[in-house]
Amino acid sequence: MQIPDFIERKTYLDRIEPFIQKDIMKILVGQRRVGKSYMLYQIMQRLSVTDPNGQQIFINKELHEFSEIRTGDHLLAHVDKHRQTGARCYLFIDELQDIDNFETALRSLQAGGGVDIFCTGSNAKLLSGELATYLSGRYIEIKVYGLSYSEFLEFHGLGPGRDSFNAYIKFGGLPYLRHLPLEDNVVFDYLRNIVDAILLKDVVARYDVRNVNFLKRLARFLADNVGNLVTARKISEYLKSQKVKVSHNLVLDYLTYLTNALLVFRAGRVDVIGKKHFEIGEKYYFEDLGIRNALGGFRATDINKMLENVVFMHLKMAGYDVKVGQIGNREIDFVCEKGGELLYVQVAYMLTDESVKEREFGNLLKIDDNYPKIVVSMDEFAGGSYQGIRHVHVEEFLLGIVEPDSVRA
């Protein structure tokens, strides 16, 4: 097949490289349109150089020519029909979750040997259950996100600065935007179509959702409440005020569907001192800020919400498990853990006066440990430290914190 032009996302490619030509299945998981297909193209191109005699079989379930591959048996029949003898086979499957009972086919191909398997999927629960149990230790899941800020600058040929950052938090980091003018009517029309595809294909069709109107209302509610604590009761009460009656259990189910579709990420709450995890109340952040703005509308007054969202996603890209912290009656925006190490982050638009400064730094000063603590803001002269706590401008934070480290075996 003709491989389309692309900008190499070297960070992810380097994560995948050690597992190529190994008896380990590679599963790339991420929201639709974050660039998973193009990661497959990059691997295919690299293999064309390193193993020119190898055979590549590519299946894209979003293309009509592969519509007949509906089940695991169809998948096995397709591979058997096209596989060449005597050559190492590289199998690429785009949007694996659209094939029913794909687990049986992958198990068979894995057991038979001689096939190096690369797949993408748009569901967070893709590898739950039987496949994960059967292939324990024989697959690796690689999370793929939209563009980081540094990637956004590269893709759009921009340098850092206020205008570039404003474009990033307004339009988001879906890679295809590099082919479009960064204009409101163009970008948001495109993003609204992406939202519809995610909701209809990854939620409505997958979970047989009946109340599509409520699903869309819920997505908009989350867009309006980025950075706010959310409970099923709070959502139900809001809907009641809109003369819509929905049970708490249905709210919880639909929230799960949206997180499984990777439209939003859930940040649970943890007691910083006692390490207790709270069962009620969490925050939701969008994988892509452009999609959030397409859903809820872009308003400059939402800058605090957008800053929290962009910092949260950057921490996720950097491989952190991110939660919301509670210490007494004070809140820590993000308690981040990776490899047994912690990082605490507070996010503020501007430290406009001493009371705001005391709140943001004071919350972190209440934490009695030696792990790094950072306040991120848009203050023009952000920098230095306050009683040992770093104060960092948001652009410096996005460009300085380690790049995505998101592989989980």
In CATH, what number is assigned to the domain containing residue 89?
3.40.50.300
Task: Give the global pTM.
Answer: 0.94
Of 108, 143, 178, which marks where a domain is finished?
143
Q: How many angstroms separate the CA atoms of 106 and 109, rounded?
A: 5
Backbone angles phi, psi at 102, to 5 degrees: -60, -20
Q: Which domain holds residue 319?
A: 149-408
Within-domain flag for 2: no
Instruction: Report the pLDDT value the prediction gives residue 263, as an integer from 0 to 100.
Output: 98
Q: Which tens digits make up the pLDDT trace of 94-139?
A: 999 999 989 889 989 988 889 999 999 999 988 776 667 767 778 9
CB 377 within 8 Å of CB 350:
yes
Within-domain flag for 1: no
Q: How many angstroms separate the CA atoms of 249 and 38, rounded?
A: 38
> Is 158 in the same domain as 296?
yes
Within-domain flag for 160: yes
Q: How many angstroms separate the CA atoms of 346 and 360, rounded?
A: 6
Percent of the chain residues topping a pLDDT of 70: 96
Query: Other CB atoms closer than 10 Å to residue 25's CB: what's the count?
Result: 23
Q: How many distinct structural domains can be found in the chain? A: 2
Distances (CA, A) of 173 to 73, 149, 192, 291: 37, 8, 14, 9
CB 39 within 8 Å of CB 145:
no
> Is 154 in the same domain as 133?
no
Give the closest residue to 99 by CA, choosing from 122, 120, 75, 127: 75
Of 87, 115, 143, which marks where a domain is finished?
143
Query: Other CB atoms closer than 10 Å to residue 337's CB: what's the count?
Result: 14
Within-domain flag for 136: yes
CB 194 within 8 Å of CB 266:
no
> Is 167 in the same domain as 98?
no
> Is 128 in the same domain as 69?
yes
> Is 250 in the same domain as 289?
yes
> Is 119 in the same domain as 173?
no
> Is 281 in the same domain as 336?
yes
Of 126, 143, 160, which marks where a domain is finished?
143
> Is 206 in the same domain as 132?
no
> Is 398 in the same domain as 323?
yes
Within-domain flag for 233: yes
Eight-state DSSP code of residue 241 = H
Tens digit of pLDDT per residue, the chain (409 long)? 777 788 999 999 999 999 999 999 999 999 999 999 999 999 999 999 999 999 999 999 999 999 999 999 999 999 999 999 989 999 999 999 999 989 889 989 988 889 999 999 999 988 776 667 767 778 999 999 999 999 999 999 999 999 999 999 999 999 999 999 999 999 999 999 999 999 999 999 999 999 999 999 999 999 999 999 999 888 888 888 877 788 888 999 999 999 999 999 999 999 998 778 887 789 999 999 999 999 999 999 999 999 999 999 999 999 999 999 999 889 999 999 999 999 999 999 999 888 888 889 999 999 999 999 999 999 988 888 888 899 999 999 999 864 444 444 3
